[in-house]
Structure 1
């Protein structure tokens, strides 16, 4: 049996490596890093194979599978390209584009994973801002802020919320009732910060709106909405079973009525998220018998717990932070604080959220470098302020 110190060190080093997508000439994959760490803790005897299997939350993985299926099907319909291009033509100026991007990213991330939202919107925005004589940074930062803040509102918005829905005992209605108002207020705060740093009145070039299969897009949106409605109507049912079942029905519908091979949807899904979570579950499971867990469990559900959540999310990223802290949550208020603060902390630094890293990477590949200093100058104050607002509102309303 490995010592406490060795197990904790392996887990923390693994979580630390999740920050990086490359070290010198060596590429790193977050999902593979997580899985490799899981193999190491198994190899050193920190957790047995049976315990490792028991630590994997199957319901969360099923919920993520269902959401990934919905998102990929919606993407194949051409919806994201259409929405981004239509936004540019509708707003017309740089400032309106920034605010519009903030709102669109928030709305899309409410019902679809925030990582998918930024992955699909960022290339469209980069193309527009590069062809216009405007500062490209504000609308790209707006994608980050909007996607993270919007995903606070529902259990379908991001992976950590999906996990919390399964572990907390909260129903989807309770989740939305408490967190949707928080997301709305925080979105308003982000807009107030973004507007002054965006050039006003600068016209944008027209962008051709790509083709969209309207019937396909509407039906995919209907499957997303139906999944959410079923989660509300059947609060005692396993949310993973509901989401996965709807995802399979969605793919089957495309295959039957749109003649789209199911393999096309399955092939395009981001399976790395599933692998990432399996690894994190096993890593956190290996900590169950260590002294670290007693420290994590001593923070209650108030401001100290919120502060720990914020700091830990920016040290090891919000997904592993949520899984780690879930063992020390106190009551519904604690789960809601954990959900809101871990997600809003994602706006503080590139470390805290995969969505932020995706925007940075996508923009850099297309020739737009977002300065870390510039990102921090906006994201950090917005993150701290919105996290504080979230804790205040949640403790006032729970």
Structure 2
């Protein structure tokens, strides 16, 4: 309990969210339905899953495998970036971050690698890769259903993000130091396959729950029970301050979305395709791209620039995408000494990419 209490009371991001929420109370009243409980339950379940994977040495097993097939630091980072880019297309950017960032940090400690810049690349790759598919991130799922789009209508603008993402990541990887690695000192990791086999079934259930094939409470309950059976510390390893930060964030966005000044301002800002694009990218920097997409969609029928705006808007600030916040929290949890350097490198890299992407795409729209 002390570990959970310390996690909640000493988290700086949660303190900032609480202060902003208190200020928002002077503007409007939060509502319980502002909270996306599906997201909260999904995050808890995924964090429990990662904790189980870590406790069974599965994370260490795969980190050693990646080291063994790589010959240099750049090759390791390139593989992790590719896994993040492609994986986020299939399993969402949040899942890619929650699984790959701890995996990379495990590798980094083994091989004495840098953490801030490679984790920045993994996060950027997750944001860009998830933008290419309808189910890669929540804003795409919302936009697809809200505008009743066909697959072709969606993938036309998605192709732009795909090409842009490949170009950006190809350039960024070149800045990774290219040193030879030594895999000779790795100790062999023996897995308890009887305990690992249920994890595969667990992952399948979680994916089915996230994609609403089954009720999400089913994988939530199974994960909670199995995690407690494997190791009781899997419950205390969950980042409860992050979950509370998300709750506060949803409440803040809910208050803003009902404010008449915000509504009036958006009505004047969304008259052209370029205005929709710029608004999507810039509003995402303040309230994140998922609520940004939900908010702006109410005022425009122009899907194409809105899609590009909110997906490119995942670059930039720490709150521009929930995946960004997840990445920072993973660094805080598994490599706290690297959290401040990560924040500086992440912010600088993302702001530069955001500006360049906005300029480039503004000529296409």
TM-score by length of structure 1 reads: 0.66
Partner SS, residue 99 of structure 1? helix
Residues 165 and 172 in structure 1, CA contact (< 8 A), matched pair in contact too: no
Distance in 2, matches of 1:172 and 1:210, equals: 47
1:284 is matched with 253
Shift of 1:149: 2.3
CA distance in 2, matches of 1:320, 1:260: 37
> What is the distance in 1 between the residues matched to 2:337 and 2:302?
45
Query: 2:328 aligned to 318, 340, 357, which one?
Result: 357
CA distance in 2, matches of 1:368, 1:53: 32
Of residues 43, 59, 62, the one that matches 1:83 is 62
Pick closer, same or farther for the CA change 1:30–1:75 going to 2, 3 Å: same
The worse-fitting range, judged by mean Cα deviation, of 366-375 and 83-92 is 366-375
Structure 1: unaligned runs, 5 residues or longer: 1-25, 232-238
Match of 1:61 in 2: 37
The verdict on how the C-alpha distance between 1:277 and 1:342 changes in structure 2, with shifts beyond 3 A counting, is same
Please state how far the C-alpha of 1:317 moved relative to its aligned partner: 5.1
Contact 1:66 1:247 in 2 (8 A): no
> Are the structure 2 counterparts of residues 137 and 249 from structure 1 closer, same or farther at C-alpha, using a change threshold of 3 Å?
closer
Take 2:326 and 2:359, find their aligned partners in 1: how far apart are those partners? 21
The residue matched to 1:286 in structure 2 has which SS? Answer: helix
1:304-324 residue CA offsets vs partner (Å, 9 max, x unmatched): 222223233335555665565
1:230-269 pair list within 5 angstroms: 231=211, 239=212, 242=214, 244-248=216-220, 250-251=222-223, 254=226, 259-260=229-230, 267-269=236-238
In structure 1, the residue matched to 2:139 is 161
Matched with 1:294 is 264
The structural deviation recorded for 1:95 is: 1.9
1:172-211 to 2 correspondences below 5 Å: 181=159, 184-200=162-178, 202-206=179-183, 207-208=186-187, 210-211=189-190
Q: Residue 300 of structure 1: CA displacement?
A: 5.2
CA offset digits 1:217-259 (Å, max 9, x no partner): 322332244346xx4xxxxxxx5x946234336427837xx94
| Structure 2 counterpart of 1:103 | 82
Contact 2:28 2:255 in 1 (8 A): yes
**Structure 2 contact 60–103 (Cα < 8 Å) conserved:** yes
Indicate the SS of the match to 1:291.
Answer: helix
CA distance in 1, matches of 2:272, 2:20: 29
Q: Does 2:282 align with 1:314?
A: no
**Structure 1 Cα separation of the partners of residues 224 and 154 of structure 2:** 29
Question: Could you give the per-residue CA deviations for residues 325-379 of structure 1, whole angstroms, max 9, x where no partner exists?
Answer: 4544535446533541232x2xx35464314534664686346974777556644
The answer to whether the Cα contact below 8 Å between 1:85 and 1:124 also exists between their aligned partners in 2 is: no
Q: 2:72 aligns with which of 66, 90, 93?
A: 93
1:386: Cα distance to partner?
A: 4.9
Give 1:106-145 correspondences, 5 Å limit: 106-110=85-89, 111=91, 113=94, 114-117=96-99, 119-130=101-112, 138-145=117-124
1:206-221 equivalent positions in 2, closer than 5 A: 206=183, 207-208=186-187, 210-212=189-191, 213=193, 214-221=196-203
Q: Work out the CA distance in 2 between the residues paired with 1:83 and 1:182.
A: 33
Does the C-alpha gap of structure 1 residues 368 and 41 become closer, same or farther in structure 2, counting only changes over 3 Å?
Answer: closer
TM norm structure 2: 0.70
Q: Is residue 102–residue 334 contact of structure 2 (8 Å, CA) maintained in 1?
A: no
Does residue 382 of structure 1 match 2:353? Answer: yes
C-alpha change, 1:127 and 1:227, in structure 2 (3 Å) is same
Q: Are the equivalent residues in 2 in contact too, given 1:349–1:380 (CA < 8 A)?
A: yes
Say if 1:63 and 1:244, in contact at 8 Å, map to a contact too: no
Post-superposition shift, 1:102? 0.6
How big is the shift at 1:271? 4.1
Name structure 2 gaps, 5 residues minimum: 1-8
Give the deviation of 1:91 after TM superposition. 1.7
1:150: which partner in 2? 129
